[in-house]
Amino acid sequence: MNHSIQLREQFLVNRPLADVFNYLSDFSTIAEWDASVFSCQKISDGAIGVGTKFDLILKSAGRHVAMDYTLKTYQKQHLIFEGIAKDFVAIDSIWFKETAQGIEITWQADISFEGILAHLLPIMKPALLKLGKTSMQGLAQALANNNPPPLMQHQIRSQLILPELWQFTKFGYLQAQKNWLPVSNNMQHKHIIITGASSGLGLASAMALAQKGANLTLVVRNQTKGEEVKQKKKKKTGNTKINLEIADMSLMSDVLALSQRLHQQQYPIDVLINNAGALFNPRQQTKEGLEQSFALLLLSPFMFTQQLKPLLAHNSRVINVLSGGMYSQAIDVNDLESQQGTYSGSVAYAKAKRGLMVITEEWAKKWQKEGISVHAMHPGWAETAGVVDSLPKFYKLTKPILRTPKQGADTIVWLASATEASQTTGLFWLDREPRPTHLTVKTQETPLQRTQLWQALLGYEKTFLSKNGH
């Protein structure tokens, strides 16, 4: 008795062969388009090639089934993966053929069953054949790469503070994840700059984008730690296109010096991620005389982005990492450095992030005709060193519901790589969905305040340019 089944599907996609091959050779992407897969991740170090291993969790009859997948054949027009589970083995063979109409993809799955599953095969066969067709439809949609930009789905709910806060937790992330669409863009020739890349969200973003093959420039304060992070990423992903830049982003002299070095390299920037951040208590000043939160969280990304504007490529993206704390504060253009009243580190942090949201919207309006998209995002409540060290009471209270850094960084990676993200600009994102920038009218700024903030930051920039001989 034959205890095996063959599933074979064929379809065309209008994509370059390199895009299709790179996407499918990373078997972890199967979780994006195959509804029968709960999760899949690369577990072996190095670049993808023969011998690369993946840990796949299959959804089957209400339970999860573990499979160990190994890449057996890695050729330009042919991939073979072998998956081993307790009671069955799957051989997935994928062929690519260039035609006048596009890339012809043939996917063949040969599955052999043992034990009780072998005897149940006649009953399971119709469902398996249907599943194969459904999976290939999902893959075809992923490779079509024509998803529309997400719409704001929860505007009414977002005006209710407690339901919105629930969305910040890991449970909000897991719920949102159910509706996400695949991202099949080829990132191998994209140059991405990430500030604050040695820990937390920056580290998680860098790891994910390195795995996608992007050319990375990582901006860190500590060279020793930066080198450790760089080598770890190279070992884990096999990506050797990782460069390190050392700068204290709270010092405008460092920001300007770094900007000058990048200009000298004449390397166009496809994605700029302004992520560097920290929360300071009590009030501190930099050695340049600026309040620390204002310097690091608002003036620094403003000046850095302004200075790098000539290097931003057509269809480039700027991503500003914000915080849900901004929902609690309005900008105060008359006290940008928190000199008045009793100082609160969390309030100064939130006000700076609110200011950066305003600047995000201003850049979006100014640069849209140049093909530059500017985004702001909120990572939710993620377990990072900054939260643990700066907000110990909050951390103790919320630890069971905090997101991992990888979950918090997901929207950063999506904004950097998804085609549909380039079709919008000036929005505030959480879990790949645009969200309101205000929950109450008390935090809304006037047009005059927006203009005053812009002019104030330009004034600071002019002062530091002059001080540093520019």
Helices (H), 309-446: 345-367, 385-390, 392-398, 405-417
Architecture of the domain defined by 4-144: 2-Layer Sandwich (3.30)
Cβ neighbours for 104, distance < 8 A, ≥ 6 positions apart: 10, 11, 12, 96, 97, 98
Task: Tell whether the model's pLDDT for residue 84 goes beyond 80.
Answer: yes
When pLDDT is averaged across residues 276-285 and rounded to a whole number, the result is: 92
In contact, 364 and 454? CB cutoff 8 Å: no
Helices (H), 368-436: 385-390, 392-398, 405-417
**pLDDT bracket for residue 155 (50, 70, 90):** low
Over the stretch 284-331, which tens digit does the pLDDT of each residue have?
999 999 999 999 999 999 999 999 999 998 899 999 999 988 999 999
Same fold, 4-144 and 155-467: no
- pTM reported for the whole predicted model: 0.93
CATH number for 155-467: choose from 3.40.50.300, 3.40.50.720, 3.40.47.10, 3.40.50.2000: 3.40.50.720
- Domain residue limits, the chain: 4-144, 155-467
Calculate what percentage of the chain has a pLDDT beyond 70.
97
418: phi > 0 → left, psi -120 to 50 → alpha, else beta; which? Answer: beta
Q: Is the peptide bond before 122 cis (omega within 30 degrees of 0)?
A: no
pLDDT value at position 166?
A: 84
**DSSP tally for the chain: helices H, then strands E:** 16, 15
Sign of CA dihedral 167, 173, 177, 180: positive
Q: What's the one-letter identity of residue 137? A: Q
Over the stretch 379-436, which tens digit does the pLDDT of each residue have?
999 988 777 777 778 778 888 989 999 999 999 999 999 999 999 999 999 999 999 9
Q: What's the one-letter identity of residue 333? A: V
Cβ neighbours for 231, distance < 8 A, ≥ 6 positions apart: none
Which residues are catalytic, by number? 349
CA distances from 286 to 177, 189, 248 (A): 40, 37, 10
Burial (0-12, 13-18, 19+ Cβ within 10 Å), 357 = buried
Task: Tell whether the model's pLDDT for residue 10 goes beyond 60.
Answer: yes
> Strands 269-274, 312-321: parallel, antiparallel or unpaired by DSSP?
parallel
CA distances from 458 to 191, 223, 256, 449 (A): 27, 30, 14, 14
Give the alpha-carbon dihedral of 119, 120, 122, 128, to 10 degrees: -130
